[in-house]
Structure 1
Amino acid sequence: MESIKIRTYIGDDGILQIQLPPEITNQELDVVIVFQTVVQKSLQSSTKTPEELEYSRKFVEEVIGSWEGEPLERPEQLPIEEREEIQWSIS
């Protein structure tokens, strides 16, 4: 048994279109559809949980969960450096 996770939009027609990998042709399949409505969070909350970012439980426990220091913060980004355009001489 294999599973594919996708996020899609269902329009007014209510039609769900799923494209399967090319290896799955000329076969009979049993298909189970389980769906969950996507809850839109407010734009004010830009911090996502590991689950929202779709990290595996193993990754969260072994990598993220092993940090024992101060909370990690991304430093402010520096402005993009303006550089001179390279002039190529054509011989």
Structure 2
Amino acid sequence: MQTIKLESHIGNDGILHIPLPEIKDADVEVIIVYQQVQKPQKRQWSSEFLSTFGAWEGEALERAPQEEQFEREPLL
């Protein structure tokens, strides 16, 4: 018994094609357990977040002077 995991597309005809080129002219027993693939949602900034762009009305923000960086140990 062998296990094969694959992702495939089932067209409008409802037929799932499973190519098995290493098996020819043979009888096989097949068990299918399927799960529909969830397409990941495209990640985007929310409209509430985007509405904050340019909304600061106070005094101008200034970056404080940065201290000199010390030498770090190399990462392994």
TM-score of the aligned structures, taking structure 2 as reference length:
0.51
Q: Secondary structure at the match of 1:42?
A: coil
- Counterpart of 1:21 in structure 2 is 21
Unaligned runs of 5+ in 1: 46-91
Structure 2, unmatched stretches of 5+, are 45-76
- Which deviates further from its counterpart, 5-14 or 36-45? 36-45
Equivalent residue pairs, number: 44
Deviation by residue 1:9-35 (Cα, 9 ceiling, x = unmatched)? 11111011110032x112211101110
Q: Tell me how large the CA RMSD over aligned residues is.
A: 1.6
- TM-score w.r.t. length of structure 1: 0.44
Q: 1:3 maps to which residue?
A: 3
Whole-angstrom CA distance in 1 between matches of 2:8 and 2:34: 10
Runs (4+) of structure 1 moved beyond 3 Å? none
Q: What amino acid does structure 2 have at the position aligned with 1:27?
A: A
Q: Specify which structure has the higher proportion of helix.
A: 1
Task: State the structure with more CA Rg.
Answer: 2
